[in-house]
Amino acid sequence: MNNPLSRRHFLKAAGAGSVFIPSSVKGYTGKEMRRLVIEGGIEADISKWELDTPALIVDLDALEGNLANMQNTLARNGIASRPHAKTHKCPAIARMQVEAGSVGICTAKVGEAEVMLEHGIERVLMTTTNVTPVKIERAMSLSRWYPGFVQATDTPANARDLSEAAEAAGISVDVVIDVDSGGHRTGITPGRPALELSQLVDTLPGLRFVGMLCYDGGSQHVQGFEARRAQTLERLRPAAETFSMLQRSGLNTEIFSGGGTGTYNVDHETPGFTDVQCGSYVFMDAQYLGIGGENDPTVYSDFAPSLTILTTVINSQYEGRATTDAGAKACTINRPWPIVKGESGMTYTSGSDEFGTLRYEEGASRSYRVGDKVELIVSHCDPVVNLYDQLYAVRNDRVQAVWSVAARGRST
């Protein structure tokens, strides 16, 4: 393990967006970090700059601030949160969200729901419809063992399949209908088709109708608060009218879920919405930072970027550029490209499988040498998280915990 003296010396210097790592600092592999956690050794003073790279880091102060801001804003607006765990895939974060006051969580996949329920998250709404026999069987199995599991349907044929499977399993399962917000990606048409599907679900013997969901994904990244607000309220009007039809029909309307990070402070204006399925707010990313907020037209600063990739410079011998160890397999090729944290006058591209490229513009805040570490704000948080087995939870640059991204790769 490291020489503690040289480590202490180096730690004093750490704290910026990037730092020179003396070769006397050996660093910690992901495996060593996991072993330290198992042995309770995380009490040791380990800096994030000592982690082997590429490494995925979450800043606890920023994460906790994001959870509190979402919770406080929604409470003020009289609406609940049901955060989407497709973003973090991490039971430790789901637990924090529930402890902060969320009414449950959402998952996109059965595999994610299995992981979250197995890790003690009691209320899970799966927002994607299960259409194949194998998935329906897995969903039935979850409903059998976990009473807080709710699944979605968007066609009469699928509702009948779910009911038959539930009857065959000797159970009754909780179901919401998914209503299309206009993007035609998933969901049934609002209005009469949605009402009729709800009535069918309500009468099918294996199902218990508990409400509806409508996610307006097409509005989340609209540039500018007012444009975003106007678009989502307009697009969600047919869903709100549908919800009112369900209420007038005397159906169970305990859930009307939708919304997201981009519209969290608008969603309470859609009549009937019970909760916001916010996902990215926990981490933020370059895609969301660019959409502008209510108080700042250029940067969406309502939530702080808490998720970063730590990478090491492996070549610095060419003018105007440096090469790092975090390419597409560590960052994805989503756009905009990752942002170099705490620096100005440089760009980062991760189009190459194994390598990232830093380019300096005129007036760049600094340049890097081989062995230096660079911290990147991620391009798009969900697919980045899916590339890592573990997430280092850090406060004041010191590693506090190693969290398993337990639903990582659970895409079935």
Ligand X SMILES: Cc1ncc(COP(=O)(O)O)c(C=O)c1O
| Chain contacts with ligand X (rule: CB under 6 A) | 84, 87, 106, 127, 215, 217, 220, 260-262, 277-280
CB of 144 to ligand X, least distance (A): 24
CA distances to 208, 251, 349 from 159, rounded to whole Å, are 11, 16, 45
CB of 266 to ligand X, least distance (A): 13
CB of 134 to ligand X, least distance (A): 22
Distance CA 94, CA 102 (A): 9
Tokens of 265: 């402070």
CB of 281 to ligand X, least distance (A): 6
Closest to ligand X by CB, 217 vs 342, is 217
Closest to ligand X by CB, 124 vs 402, is 124
CA atoms within 13 A on the CB side of 121: 36
Tokens of 173: 């399962």
CB of 396 to ligand X, least distance (A): 27
Q: What DSSP state is assigned to residue 337?
A: P
Is 243:253 a contact under the CB 8 Å cutoff? Answer: yes
Closest to ligand X by CB, 220 vs 231, is 220
Listing DSSP states for 252-273 in one string gives --SEEEE--TTTTTTGGGSTT-
CB of 347 to ligand X, least distance (A): 25
Closest to ligand X by CB, 27 vs 383, is 383
Closest to ligand X by CB, 83 vs 206, is 83
Is 257:80 a contact under the CB 8 Å cutoff? Answer: no
Distance CA 218, CA 183 (A): 7
Distance CA 253, CA 240 (A): 12
Q: Which positions ≥6 away from 323 have C-beta within 8 Å?
A: 313, 314, 315, 316, 355, 356, 357, 358
Closest to ligand X by CB, 215 vs 368, is 215
Q: 4-10: long-range contacts at Cβ-Cβ below 8 A with a sequence spacing of 24 or more?
A: 7/45, 7/47, 7/50, 8/45, 10/47, 10/49
Q: 248-254: long-range contacts at Cβ-Cβ below 8 A with a sequence spacing of 24 or more?
A: 249/195, 249/198, 249/199, 251/198, 251/199, 251/202, 251/209, 252/202, 252/208, 252/209, 252/210, 252/211, 253/211, 253/212, 254/210, 254/211
CB of 258 to ligand X, least distance (A): 7
Closest to ligand X by CB, 215 vs 355, is 215
Q: Which positions ≥6 away from 283 have C-beta within 8 Å?
A: 58, 63, 66, 87, 88, 305, 306, 307, 378, 381, 385
Closest to ligand X by CB, 47 vs 287, is 287
CB of 54 to ligand X, least distance (A): 23
Closest to ligand X by CB, 83 vs 356, is 83
CB of 262 to ligand X, least distance (A): 6
CB of 11 to ligand X, least distance (A): 35
Is 151:139 a contact under the CB 8 Å cutoff? Answer: yes
Closest to ligand X by CB, 59 vs 275, is 275
Is 27:303 a contact under the CB 8 Å cutoff? Answer: no
